[in-house]
């Protein structure tokens, strides 16, 4: 293809340079997490090749590949990975970026031309199996490292809030209308339990991602890879990361289908849906301070308006809901990308993992911010809750076992129409004596 000039202060080579020049599209660079995972894979592959192909992967070559790969993994070489997401759909150019950087750095460390990017660093591999392997690695490791800890801390914050607010009874709401009473702690427990269930679903969704495409090489047949290469690499990756990974049972599926990532992102979308619901509940319950529900207060973090003095808005809730809609949109992208596997390869992989990681990162960050700047500062307004509870007409539900549904409905309509209490309405209609009403009507026992 002719000569190409590569900056002398960079470790990449001709293939990376061509991609850098030919794909001036957007600002979204290949995520550093994917680069680090490819570094882990290159280290594991070199060790596996040393074990299985010692005549080709010599101890000397392994030594310098290891040193260079560890630099990739620790993040100290990030300036040498300039490629954007919008490149070849197989991720070949980013795989070659890794191969070139590791071989060039290894040669610098060795003081001679010892390593070749294709023959040595990419030995027994193809971009078609390394990139999907890195995708699975990244999804599992980043979920374990950032998302689950953030989710656990948010669950813990709701658990503490639930315990602190036991004994407070308030009006429930269904269809945005008054409903029968509920304990505030019960309402919080619903939020907590939703997040706990999401946690379970996310962890279950990681299990299929632990199967790796490595060893499939170009089309799934394993051409040019030694026997047991897949199992050996997966074992090495498990040792390096401390997390369990296995070779995919069917390599043809592993290259052409991305259903495991669709499934895993679906669990992220479920979390986004529940966060949307929780954030909306909190901002509506805190609405006011005088013309809304006003049953809780949330931290006043910053002014809410450039024109209305003293206004404070539920900004953390708004950030959570914006993240949630972004994740839902990303789920559409992930699904469409995964549907485009043609014959033996899916060529939408960079955009798929980019969106997956963005969802993961946004959810992790927003849960941390939501917890610190909102949830941990939620306080009940007991007076407002009691006032709303005692004004609720749906407390008449407690009377239905004694006067029947139709009569209880008549009590409600009369009370609402004439601005009476339920007791006054019931007594005027003659359905119960005052003594019986007081015996049956106990809102605090309706939870």
Three-state helix/strand/coil letters over 47-111: HHHHHHCCCCCCHHHHHHHHHHHHHHHCCCCHHHCCCECCCCCCCHHHHHHHHHHHHHHHHHHHC
Q: Give me the catalytic one of 76, 259, 305, 421.
A: 305
Q: How confident is residue 443, by pLDDT bands cut at 50, 70 and 90?
A: very high
Q: Is 305 a catalytic residue?
A: yes
Looking at residue 441, what is its pLDDT? 95
Looking at residue 273, what is its pLDDT? 98
Looking at residue 11, what is its pLDDT? 98
Share of the chain above pLDDT 90, in %: 100
Looking at residue 5, what is its pLDDT? 97
Looking at residue 402, what is its pLDDT? 97
pTM of the shown model:
0.96
Please confirm whether the linkage preceding 2 is cis (ω < 30° from 0): no
Report how far residue 325's alpha carbon sits from residue 329's, in angstroms, rounded to the nearest whole number: 6
Please confirm whether the linkage preceding 105 is cis (ω < 30° from 0): no
Report how far residue 420's alpha carbon sits from residue 414's, in angstroms, rounded to the nearest whole number: 7
Residue 1 pLDDT > 90: no
Q: What angle do CA 432, 437, 443 make, to 5 degrees?
A: 140
Q: Which fold has domain 141-225+250-381?
A: Fumarase C; Chain A, domain 2 (1.20.200)
Max alpha carbon distance in the chain (Å)? Answer: 102
The Cα-based distances of 124 to 42, 46, 215, 218 in angstroms read 11, 9, 7, 10
Phi, psi for 180 (deg, rounded to 5): -70, 160
8 A C-beta contact, residue 351 and residue 333: yes
For 246: left if phi > 0, alpha if psi spans -120 to 50, otherwise beta; the answer is: beta
Q: Residue 399 is encoded by which pair of tokens? A: 């009377």
Q: Give me the catalytic one of 5, 8, 175, 306.
A: 175
What is the mean predicted confidence (pLDDT) over 32-52? Answer: 98
**CA nearest 67: which of 96, 101, 97?**
101
8 A C-beta contact, residue 65 and residue 106: yes
What is the mean predicted confidence (pLDDT) over 107-122? Answer: 98
Looking at residue 252, what is its pLDDT? 98
> What's the chain's length in residues?
447
Residue spans of the domains in the chain: they are 14-125, 141-225+250-381, 392-445
What is the mean predicted confidence (pLDDT) over 132-147? Answer: 98
In this structure, CATH architecture of domain 392-445: Orthogonal Bundle (1.10)
* Average pLDDT score, the chain: 97
| Tens-place pLDDT, residues 235-250 | 999 999 999 999 999 9
Q: Is 6 helix (H, G, I), strand (E, B) or coil?
A: coil
In this structure, CATH architecture of domain 14-125: Orthogonal Bundle (1.10)
Residue 407 pLDDT > 90: yes
Residue 119 pLDDT > 90: yes
Report how far residue 270's alpha carbon sits from residue 274's, in angstroms, rounded to the nearest whole number: 6
| Tens-place pLDDT, residues 302-360 | 999 999 999 999 999 999 999 999 999 999 999 999 999 999 999 999 999 999 999 99
| Tens-place pLDDT, residues 184-201 | 999 999 999 999 999 999
């Amino acid at each position: 293809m002719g000569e190409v000039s590569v900056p002398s202060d960079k470790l990449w080579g001709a293939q990376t340079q061509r991609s850098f020049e030919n794909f001036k599209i957007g600002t979204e660079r290949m995520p550093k997490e994917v680069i680090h995972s490819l570094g882990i894979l290159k280290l594991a592959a070199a060790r596996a090749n040393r074990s299985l192909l010692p005549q080709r992967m010599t101890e000397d070559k392994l030594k310098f590949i290891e040193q260079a790969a560890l630099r990739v993994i620790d993040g100290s070489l990030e300036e040498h990975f300039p490629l954007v997401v919008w490149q070849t759909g197989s991720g070949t150019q980013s795989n070659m970026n890794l191969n070139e950087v590791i071989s060039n750095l290894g040669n610098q460390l060795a003081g001679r031309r010892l390593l070749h990017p294709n023959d040595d660093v990419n030995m027994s591999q193809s971009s078609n199996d390394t990139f999907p392997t890195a995708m699975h690695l990244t999804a599992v490791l980043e979920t374990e490292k950032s998302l689950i800890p953030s989710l656990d801390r948010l669950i813990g914050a709701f658990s503490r809030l639930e315990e602190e607010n036991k004994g407070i009874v308030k009006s429930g709401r269904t269809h945005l209308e008054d409903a029968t009473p509920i304990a505030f702690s019960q309402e919080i427990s619903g939020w907590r339990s939703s997040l706990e269930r999401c946690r379970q679903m996310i962890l279950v969704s990681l299990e299929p991602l632990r199967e790796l495409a490595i060893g499939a090489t170009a089309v799934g047949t394993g051409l040019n890879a030694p026997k047991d290469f897949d199992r050996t690499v997966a074992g090495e990756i498990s040792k390096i990361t401390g997390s369990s990974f296995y070779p995919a049972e069917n390599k043809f599926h592993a290259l052409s289908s991305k259903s495991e990532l669709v499934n895993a992102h679906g669990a992220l979308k479920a979390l986004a849906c529940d966060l949307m619901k929780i954030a909306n509940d909190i901002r509506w319950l805190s609405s006011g301070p005088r013309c809304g529900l006003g049953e809780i207060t949330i931290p006043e973090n910053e002014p809410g308006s450039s024109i209305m003095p003293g206004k404070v808005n539920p900004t953390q809730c708004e950030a959570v809901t914006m993240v949630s809609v972004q994740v839902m949109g990303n789920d559409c992208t992930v699904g469409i990308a995964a549907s485009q596997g043609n014959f033996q390869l899916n060529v939408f992989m960079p955009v798929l993992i980019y969106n997956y990681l963005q969802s993961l990162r946004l959810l992790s960050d927003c849960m941390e911010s939501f917890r610190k700047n909102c949830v941990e500062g939620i306080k009940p307004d007991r007076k407002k809750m009691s006032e709303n509870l005692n004004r609720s007409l749906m407390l008449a539900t407690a009377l239905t076992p004694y006067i029947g549904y139709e009569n209880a409905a008549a009590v409600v309509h009369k009370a609402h129409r004439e601005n009476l209490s339920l007791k006054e309405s019931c007594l005027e209609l003659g359905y119960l004596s005052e003594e019986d009403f007081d015996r049956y009507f106990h809102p605090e026992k309706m939870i």
